[in-house]
Amino acid sequence: METMVSNSMPISVSSLPPVRVVASPRKLEFSSFTPKTTLFGSRSQRKIGFRCSPVRRAAVTCGVVTEIKESQFSDVVLKADEPVLVEFVATWCGPCRLISPAMEAIAQEYGDRLTVVKIDHDANPRLIEEYKVYGLPTLILFKNGQEVPESRREGAITKGKLKEYVDALLESISVA
């Protein structure tokens, strides 16, 4: 159980390393929506799921979507050989949570040709400023240290559309 501190100062969040539980990969897809389905599993299911643990000086690794902070951005994203899909998120952002299982699924499925990372906007203001991210979640694809033109996408997305989006981008950069 992670420690909860209520009534603490919001500013403290930004000075601490971002630690969040990245949803473990789930089979549920958006297409499986029925009023009784929850994307995140029941509480008891989630308790069984493994938790991430922060590794000193390395990314917080959990499942296949890795959460990184700005100090790692250059190494993990800009200097990467393969394309990197970056997801900018916030703690209390519903659609960010909604797309989390789809992002995990994409990260697994495209594991050999695509890296997927997530970045918390509150804890990493310099990156947010540099890339002018406002709506959350925002997805941006990076390749060869640069933002891939027209790869930016805001808001919730179904797994099917996310796949189409990734496929189109990977194709466009392989042609370019």
Check if 62 is active-site. Answer: no
Residues of this chain that bind other proteins (CB under 8 A)? 2-13, 16-17, 19-21, 30, 33-35, 37-40, 43, 46-47, 54, 88, 90-98, 121, 128-129, 133-136, 154-156, 158
Q: Which is nearer to other proteins, 143 or 159 (CB)?
A: 159
Residue 102: CB minimum distance to other proteins, A: 13
Q: Which is nearer to other proteins, 25 or 95 (CB)?
A: 95
- Short-list 134, 138, 168, CA closest to 153: 138
How far is 104 from 99, CA to CA, in rounded Å?
A: 9
Residue 18: CB minimum distance to other proteins, A: 8
Q: Do the bridges between strand 115-120 and strand 66-67 make them parallel or antiparallel, or are there none, so unpaired?
A: parallel
- Which of 62, 96, 116, 127 is flagged as catalytic? 96
CB-CB contact of 146 with 80 (8 Å): no
What would you report as the CA-atom Rg of the chain, rounded to the nearest whole angstrom?
Answer: 16
Q: Which is nearer to other proteins, 21 or 173 (CB)?
A: 21
Residue 69: CB minimum distance to other proteins, A: 12
Q: Which is nearer to other proteins, 49 or 109 (CB)?
A: 49
CB-CB contact of 100 with 158 (8 Å): no
- Which of 59, 93, 98, 156 is flagged as catalytic? 93
User: Under DSSP, is residue 176 helix (H, G, I), strand (E, B) or coil?
Assistant: coil
Q: Do the bridges between strand 84-89 and strand 66-67 make them parallel or antiparallel, or are there none, so unpaired?
A: unpaired
Element (H, E) at 171: helix 159-175
Check if 52 is active-site. Answer: no
Active centre residues (catalytic): 93, 96
